Structure 1
Amino acid sequence: MVLLNDHEGKALVLLPANMLLNLVSIWKHSGRHLQPVRCKDASKFFNQAALKSQAGQEKLFQLPVFIDQSLADYERFDVVESYTGLAFEAQSEWFGDHMSLCSLGLTSQSIDQHQQDGSDEQVITRAVERFTTLRIQQRLEDTLGLPPLPPSMKRLVELRSDPTAGIDDLVPLVRGDASLAAQVMSWAASPYYAAPGEVHSVEDAVIRVLGFDLVVNLALGVAMGKTLKVPDDTPRDGIPYWKQSVYLAAATELVCKKMPAEIRPKPGLVYLAGLLQNFGYLILAHLFPPHFSLLSRYIEANPHMALEFIEKQVMNVTREQIGGWLLDNWGLPEVVVEAVRYHNDLNYDGLASHEAKLIYVVSRALRSKELADGPVEAIPDSVLSELRITQADVDEVLDHIVASRGELDALVHTIMHAH
């Protein structure tokens, strides 16, 4: 059950729980430009005491009701509202003459059937040609107008990919970039890293507090994120980009350390993949500004649906495809690229299988605490078994992350205000 509204008032939509609500279909059918209400308004509305009783539930359906035609023959419905979890049985007789049947739902299978085959680059190219006036040049990256990484960041990518690189290579690079040096000093002073005593120099920050891996990973994640602007018209009440990235990176690294040493990935690379896992979201906003606003409304209307299917329906390309492609273009380690690209695909069994599944597990865990976007989903036991961790391990990390919210929020603040 989804609540929509416009200048004429509210309306309800009922559709099967495995379907995406196609806003364009309901606009065409109703002749109204109905929009999803924001999360906090839906929560306030559906948490009314009157809706705990059958009389109140029946009165709710005095609103105009749009029902997917696949439900035409049902007399009773087990109704669920996604934001509040309100659930009850509704009778079709409640709808009376203000019920309208229309085709307004799409299953994930029907969405996939309309996606064209091809490599990620071919998919991105077709989406760009369809949704923009850009003509694809010989090199896709030339067409997109994406800013290049500054020279110091290119050197960081090289350090990240060089197994022999160490602190002696990193410290001069940080010292030579005033902006990066200021960021490193502010991170070292962050309560989350709880350095004993004051941090007096870049060397002190790198050697005593943060370490090689963390400095390289934070610097890369922030630099890449800052090449693109966080969009204005995001889903209302969604988790801010940097908050989600920092929380997920920190939690993924901690869960990684729970894995047995013989199969454990490098925690530093896992942290970087977690920090960049949502990077494609910024690229979608950069490339398709008008359609990104529409995407935001679709996400609000479909809190029960996996984000990749909403993006396929609206954009014909997902954040994972475009994020993985650009990170590969920028020369990041293959493990990081593949973890970003495939972290929502449980069938993926490639080079970064453990890294990708760690991000999958942690993102689902954070959703349950409203610290990451996407529908709340149970973590399959088979995934935990493959990583040789338990739900108790994940819960322990989650408790630590929740207890550290103040310190992590302070770190997010330093990143967002770094220049």
Structure 2
Amino acid sequence: MSSVPTSVMEQLDTQKIGYQIASAKFPPGSGRRVRATILQDNLGQLQALLPADRLLDVRLVNEILGRELKATRQKDLQPLFDKYKLQNIPALPKLAGMPTIVDASLLQTDSLLLASGSLGEVLAVSTADFKLAMNDAEIGDISMPLKADALGDDVLAITQSVQSFTKRRVEQRLEETLELPSLPETAQRIINLRVDPNADISDLASIVEMDPSLAAQVVSWASSPYYSAPGKIKSIHDAIVRVLGFDMVLNLALGLALGKTLNMPQDGPFGSTHYWHQSVFTAAMVEALVTKIPREHRPGFGMSYLSGLLSNFGTLVMAEVFSPHYSDICRLQEANPHIPYQAIDRHVLDVSRDQLSAWLMDLWNMPPEVVAALRLQGMPQAEDDQIAYAQLVYLARALLCQENLIHGPALNVDDSLLDALHLKRDQVEEAVESIAESKDELLSIVKELC
């Protein structure tokens, strides 16, 4: 039985559009997928229809229409979703009587696959029928192609982006140009401790205790209901011995120290997840997944956890380095919530926050596992000796988005990724269930960090 809303099928029949209901995962033929975005200003709402593989540029829409439209917040769309029983926005012209603007590129193909209002199904229609339904819709070039990521010389890519950004040739060394802070002393001490074969609990405790704020956060973490530690945690030594363990505290302290290095951005896409919320939940999901991997194939636990904790560090770097353009990136994310942030970063700046954060981690002599995790987290099929850490972060974020535990576009999770990590579907489901059940406990940790 179809899950396409009755209201959508009634509109199709009224507009006399011939259609076929098909699986969104296995659609028929070679039709181009079409998505819809609702924009609004003080004149009201407007619907934009464009290819699902392109980026909606709201500035182009405003230039054509002479308006000041912005993406509509999810809370303002809820009445529409409730009234018509929608799971997504149907890509039907004149939806709910709204004026419509259609990207011109849609009319250059023979068939289209329209978002149907159901996440599991699409509507296969001919472009000829689609044109008939457009009626008095505006037509214009309102979208841009996405730039694919590729492995290469990241320092060169970042340098070229900075040159373009500043409108002048930058002759200083990259780290001078970006004016980023040096590695915090606490983080440097922890990194040095990592490679010291004689390091013990007392050494780690003494380093963490030198930073009262960091020490308080680690103790609070260990004391949280998430770890259900018996009795009161009174010191870093307690946190290490009784609850978290040496490796966990070492990597936790390192992640927390680095997270405090840069300022939290004041801007951000509406509906976005706070930095520490995403960090804590991603690290916890990575932790849950790693424990399911057979020991002979399991990546290093500490490095995996640290990779999850630092996975969105690039957002801090991007906001710090390219602050005037970061707002543009946020507005594009609002209008294109289905597009991964990496593609939007490259559209605006020709470089992604993943490239920036990986480069900075490498400059700070962070472990190669973490560098690879940050750089390749959007490229889980890449060839790299440390790809498992990036795959864990990708999988963790995909699962969290599916459960609405963090915000972000839907990411594909196929069997090849699970096979590469030596995970089974039922194990992944168990990991997701454990994090979902611990949501409140994890939020209590986030609250202490915000």
TM-score (norm 2): 0.83
**Which residue in the other structure is 1:217 paired with?**
251
Counterparts of 1:50 and 1:187, CA distance in 2? 41
Can you give the 5+ residue segments of structure 1 that lack an aligned partner in the other structure?
Answer: none
| Matched residue SS, 1:123 | helix
Q: Is 1:93 the equivalent of 2:132?
A: yes
Q: Is 1:181 the equivalent of 2:219?
A: no
Can you give the 5+ residue segments of structure 2 that lack an aligned partner in the other structure?
Answer: 1-35
Q: 1:393 to 1:367 in 2, by over 3 A?
A: same
CA offsets per residue over residues 14-66 of structure 1, 9 Å max, x none?
112222212232233223232111122223333323879xxxx7762632211
**Which residue in the other structure is 1:379 paired with?**
413
Counterparts of 1:323 and 1:96, CA distance in 2? 48
Task: Identify the match of residue 317 of structure 2 among 283, 287, 297.
Answer: 283
RMSD: 2.7
CA offsets per residue over residues 272-320 of structure 1, 9 Å max, x none?
0011111111111111222111111111111222221111112221111
**Which residue in the other structure is 1:339 paired with?**
373
**Which residue in the other structure is 1:201 paired with?**
235
Q: 1:152 to 1:285 in 2, by over 3 A?
A: same
Deviates more, 1:182-191 or 1:317-326: 182-191
Q: Is 1:255 the equivalent of 2:289?
A: yes
Q: 1:259 to 1:117 in 2, by over 3 A?
A: closer
Counterparts of 2:420 and 2:152, CA distance in 1? 30
Q: Percent identity of the aligned residues?
A: 39
Q: 1:136 to 1:156 in 2, by over 3 A?
A: farther
Counterparts of 2:394 and 2:241, CA distance in 1? 32
1:50-199 superposed matches below 5 A: 60=95, 62-72=97-107, 78-80=113-115, 91-97=130-136, 99-108=137-146, 111-112=147-148, 119-132=153-166, 136-162=170-196, 165-199=199-233
TM-score (norm 1): 0.89
Counterparts of 2:83 and 2:445, CA distance in 1? 37
Counterparts of 1:191 and 1:82, CA distance in 2? 40
Q: 1:75 to 1:60 in 2, by over 3 A?
A: farther
Task: Identify the match of residue 386 of structure 2 among 330, 352, 357.
Answer: 352
For these two proteins, the number of residue pairs brought into alignment is: 407
Are the counterparts in 1 of residues 208 and 253 from structure 2 also a CA contact under 8 Å? no
CA offsets per residue over residues 179-213 of structure 1, 9 Å max, x none?
22222222221111111011222211221122112
CA offsets per residue over residues 198-240 of structure 1, 9 Å max, x none?
1222211221122112212221112211111221221101111
| Matched residue SS, 2:304 | helix
Are the counterparts in 2 of residues 75 and 93 from structure 1 also a CA contact under 8 Å? no
Are the counterparts in 1 of residues 157 and 351 from structure 2 also a CA contact under 8 Å? yes
- Per-residue deviation at 1:251? 0.9
Letter in 1 for 2:139: L
1:293-304 superposed matches below 5 A: 293-304=327-338
Counterparts of 1:361 and 1:212, CA distance in 2? 26
Are the counterparts in 1 of residues 202 and 237 from structure 2 also a CA contact under 8 Å? no
Letter in 1 for 2:38: L
Counterparts of 2:46 and 2:98, CA distance in 1? 6
Are the counterparts in 1 of residues 214 and 256 from structure 2 also a CA contact under 8 Å? no
**Which residue in the other structure is 2:54 paired with?**
19
- Per-residue deviation at 1:352? 0.9
| Matched residue SS, 2:264 | coil
Q: 1:117 to 1:362 in 2, by over 3 A?
A: closer
Are the counterparts in 2 of residues 364 and 377 from structure 1 also a CA contact under 8 Å? yes
